[in-house]
Amino acid sequence: MTVRDDLEPALAAYLAERAQWVDATLERLLPPEQRPPGRLYEAMRYSLTAPGKRIRPVLLLAAVDAVGGDAHNALPAAAALEMIHAYSLIHDDLPAMDDDDTRRGQPSNHKVYGEAMAILAGDGLLTAAFEILASPELGAIGNAETRLAVLFDLAHAAGPAGMVGGQAADILAEEQDEIDLPELEFIHTHKTGALIAAALRMGARLGGGTADQIDALTRYGRHIGLAFQIADDILDLVTETDGGEHSKATYPSLMGLAAAREHADSLVDRALAELEPFGAYAEPLRALARYIVARTH
Amino acid sequence: MTVRDDLEPALAAYLAERAQWVDATLERLLPPEQRPPGRLYEAMRYSLTAPGKRIRPVLLLAAVDAVGGDAHNALPAAAALEMIHAYSLIHDDLPAMDDDDTRRGQPSNHKVYGEAMAILAGDGLLTAAFEILASPELGAIGNAETRLAVLFDLAHAAGPAGMVGGQAADILAEEQDEIDLPELEFIHTHKTGALIAAALRMGARLGGGTADQIDALTRYGRHIGLAFQIADDILDLVTETDGGEHSKATYPSLMGLAAAREHADSLVDRALAELEPFGAYAEPLRALARYIVARTH
């Protein structure tokens, strides 16, 4: 899931400001000067502090806004979520997995630090995320019940029933000749969708949302997560100039371009419908949802 | 850290009974029939349910006993701790790390399931451990504050400041010509010691121990964790029959056999001293500590 730079100015400013808060929090939680072994912390920081839009933590903070909470209190949780995302990229890039030598134009973690240190940097970021959420000093405010529930949201979304399960399904799908639409949807809703939905759920919970609000924003997250993926597939297809073969199944390749656009539109409509009770507080989430499909037309 | 079979009968029975409780809990928390992808759960179960002494979870349960708590209530936490241990073995065995084809006479995880699935099985077990500790349905009883503190104990011990840091230091040490005693001690106190100390700390906390009791049992755990490692080094040396070279630094190789024995004895004495205030409830922990050094003489 990627966000392009052609955002409307107000949304772009909102996203950029919150991304900056997240960056500052990451710097505070994982500063350059750490205990030994320094090489491990360097490898963790290499991927964690690489420039990025911080879309998942920003969604978490926008969910806090949507329920009328104070986003600053949720920054440690937003940082923990970004650590989980960073770990997943490090492990996904490994030679045994997707075998990517670069990530956003930079050498991938294992190209710089070696495979062993890259595996450990991922393990370290994954574990540190839960350490932060459980820590009285580092963790987000809120009572223990809330912090435990937020931690469960994240662990459940990141683990075998979520992101790890989706990545495993993706690896297994590569061994098959072809996959069908339900399999593709399983991969995306788990590999990327679960963590995006968790971002909204965690934010709604930390912001003091009601059970109904938490569930509504979780559904919003599921819808936009999948819509983003379909939109990415469409953009990859229409900006493709070399006419090369598409070995990997995508939404347009499996359901056709027009139907894929319609599917993305309908998911965004459903996401927007979930936001109706939230009023003006949810304006950034609305703008984000609209932006997803605008770029596919 | 391994436990041999020459235990005194009462201690052996105590350990075996609790290991059985842990096995039953692992079966309940990670049953064979899971959601897809089945291959991921199979890989996780392959390493998690492999026969073992369950020494870390049993130490956790013994710490609950030592403070007069009910060990059954701590079984989910004990199972979560074993999941962390199992994940660490899977990742340590990977070709990029220690490159071990076998683990206790069985093919290692990546030899059976491939490297990608082994990495994901490890990631899945690591994440599932925190999911269990944070889950109202699956988690150990106790109020939210206690469960959050226990979760922090485990994350801190397993992460960069503990086990992951120790494994990284071990990997980095292999690139050096030789390491000295402080470096060896850093590796062992972090790579294996931190999780053993956490076992005691988690158990003492879940059993309702006072702050003093929790700290005393944590120190006991640190002492026996290191004593176990030194004892293993000594046993490896004295049972070595082929006279082969020892490329890896050990306590006897760095400080001499007699001094290593003395060091282990003194650590066990310090561990036993920590148990003095606990009376008869700590008898299993005493027997375990004495057993460590008995086998080195």
Residue B10: band (very low, low, confident or very high) from pLDDT cuts 50, 70, 90: confident
Q: Say yes or no for a CB contact (<8 Å) between A186 and B143.
A: no
In 3D space, the residue among B10, B25, B23 whose CA is nearest the CA of residue B49 turns out to be B23
Does the pLDDT at position B245 exceed 60? no
Residues of B in contact with A135 (CB under 8 A): 152
* Smallest Cα distance from B32 to chain A, Å: 14
What is the distance of C-alpha B11 from the center of its chain? Answer: 18
Give B170-184 pLDDT, tens digit per residue.
Answer: 999 988 888 999 999
Q: What phi-psi label fits residue A104: left (phi over 0), alpha (psi between -120 and 50 degrees) or beta?
A: left
CA distance A37 to chain B (A): 6
CB A97 within 8 A of CB B116: yes
Q: Is B148 helix (H, G, I), strand (E, B) or coil?
A: helix
**B126 vs A123: CB contact, 8 Å cut-off?**
yes
Confidence of residue B59 (pLDDT cuts 50, 70, 90): very high
Architecture of the B9-210 domain? Orthogonal Bundle (1.10)
The verdict on a CB contact (< 8 Å) between B37 and A168 is yes
In B, minimum Cα distance to A169 occurs at B37
Chain A: nearest CA to B280, how far in angstroms? 33
Chain A interface, best mutation among B33, B85, B110, B148, by max A CB count within 10 A: B148
Structure tokens at B84: 């962390």
Per-residue model confidence (pLDDT) at position B185 = 95
Q: Residue B103: beta bridge partners?
A: B106
Contacts of B156 in chain A (CB under 8 A): 131
- Cβ contact (<8 Å) for B168 and A130? no
Question: Which carries the bigger pLDDT value, residue A70 or residue A143?
Answer: A70
CB A142 within 8 A of CB A167: no
Does ipTM top 0.90? Answer: yes
Measured between beta carbons, which residues in chain B are less than 8 angstroms from residue A160? 34, 40-41, 44, 124, 127-128
Nearest to A159 among B124, B145, B167 (CB): B124
**How far A119 CA lies from chain B's nearest CA (Å)?**
8
CA distance B47 to B82: 10
What's the confidence (pLDDT) of residue B262?
95
Residue type, A6: D
Among candidates A53, A225, A84, A167, which has minimal Cα distance to B43? A167
Residue in chain A closest to B115 (alpha carbons) equals: A96
Range of weakest confidence among A194-198, B245-249, B277-281: B245-249
* φ/ψ of residue A103, rounded to 5: -140, 115
pLDDT at B246 over 50: no
What's at B17, amino acid-wise? E
* pLDDT the model gives residue A244: 47
Compute the Cα dihedral for B98, B99, B101, B106 and give only its sign: positive
Residues of chain A contacting B94 with CB distance shorter than 8 Å: 116, 119
Residues A127/B164, Cβ–Cβ less than 8 Å? yes
Distance between A50 CA and the closest CA of chain B, angstroms: 19
Min CA distance, A269 vs chain B (Å)?
29
Mean per-residue pLDDT, B227-231: 92
Interchain contact, B168 vs A35, CB within 8 Å: no
The pLDDT of residue A104 = 87
CA distances from B47 to A123, B91, B110 (A): 17, 11, 10
pLDDT over 70 (residue A5): no
What does the block give as tokens for B115?
Answer: 């490297």
**What is the per-residue pLDDT for B143?**
87
Instruction: Say yes or no for a CB contact (<8 Å) between B123 and A126.
Output: yes
pLDDT at B137 over 50: yes
The answer to whether the CB atoms of A156 and B131 lie below 8 A apart is: yes
Q: What share of chain B in percent tops pLDDT 70? A: 94
Question: For residue B201, which residues of chain A lie inside 8 Å, CB to CB?
Answer: none
Q: Amino acid letter at A16?
A: A
Residue ranges of alpha helices (H) inside chain A are: 9-29, 38-48, 55-66, 75-93, 109-113, 115-134, 144-158, 163-173, 181-188, 194-206, 211-238, 251-255, 257-275, 283-294
Residue (of A190, A98, A152, A263) closest to B132 by Cα position = A152
Q: Could you tell me which residues come within 8 angstroms of residue A84 by beta carbon, excluding any fewer than 6 positions away?
A: A125, A126, A129, A154, A158, A163, A195
Distance CA B210, CA B213 (A): 5
Nearest-Cα residue of chain B relative to residue A34 = B161
The full 3-state SS of B104-121, as one line of letters, equals CCEECHHHHHCHHHHHHH
Q: Which residues of A touch B123 (CB under 8 A)?
A: 91, 122-123, 126, 164
Nearest to A36 among B143, B152, B169 (CB): B169
> What's the whole-number mean pLDDT along residues A154-178?
94
Gap from B217 CA to chain A (nearest CA, Å): 21
Q: How does B193-206 read in b/e, with b if 16+ C-beta sit within 10 Å?
A: bbbbbbbbbbbbbb
Residue B240: predicted pLDDT = 66
Q: Tell me, what's the pLDDT at B123?
A: 98
Rounded to the nearest integer, the mean pLDDT of chain B is 92
pLDDT digits (tens, 9 = 90+) for B104-132: 899 999 999 999 999 999 999 999 999 99
Q: Tell me which amino acid residue A150 is.
A: V
B150: tokens are 């226990």
Q: In the structure, what pLDDT confidence band is assigned to residue B244 with cuts at 50, 70 and 90?
A: very low
* A227-244 residue pLDDT tens: 999 998 998 888 765 444
From residue B294, give the alpha-carbon distance in Å to each of A258, B234, B290: 75, 12, 6
Across the interface, of B135, B144, B168, the residue whose CB is closest to A144 is: B144
Q: Which two tokens stand for residue A278?
A: 């939230």
Q: Which residue of B has its CA nearest to A96?
A: B116
Report the pLDDT averaged over residues A207-223: 98
The bridge status of strand A106-107 relative to strand A102-103 is: antiparallel
Cβ-nearest to B116 among A123, A160, A171: A171
Cβ-defined contact of A151 to B130 (cutoff 8 Å): yes
B267 pLDDT more than 90:
yes
Cα of B158 vs its chain's centroid, Å:
10
Structural Rg of chain A based on CA atoms: 19
Q: What are phi and psi of A254, to 5 degrees?
A: -90, -30
**Shortest Cα distance from A26 to chain B (angstroms)?**
15
* Alpha helix segments (H runs only) across chain B: 9-29, 38-48, 55-66, 75-93, 109-113, 115-134, 144-158, 163-173, 181-188, 194-206, 211-238, 251-255, 257-275, 283-294
pLDDT of residue A243: 47
Distance from CA of residue B226 to its chain's centroid? 12
User: How far apart, in whole angstroms, are the C-alpha atoms of residue A125 and residue A143?
Assistant: 24
- Can you give the pTM of this predicted structure? 0.95
How much is the average pLDDT of B34-40?
91
Q: What is the pLDDT of residue A26?
A: 97
Q: What is the pLDDT of residue A97?
A: 96
Contact B165 A44 (CB under 8 A): no
Q: Pick A40's closest partner by Cβ from B124, B151, B160.
A: B160
> Nearest by CB to A134, which of B117, B152, B172?
B152
Chain B residues within an 8 Å CB radius of A119: 91, 94, 96-97, 119
Q: What is the DSSP string of A42-83?
A: HHHHHHHTS----HHHHHHHHHHHHTT--GGGGHHHHHHHHH
Q: Where do the structural domains in chain A lie, given as residue ranges?
A: 9-210
pLDDT at A295: 72
CB contact under 8 A, B155 and A115: no
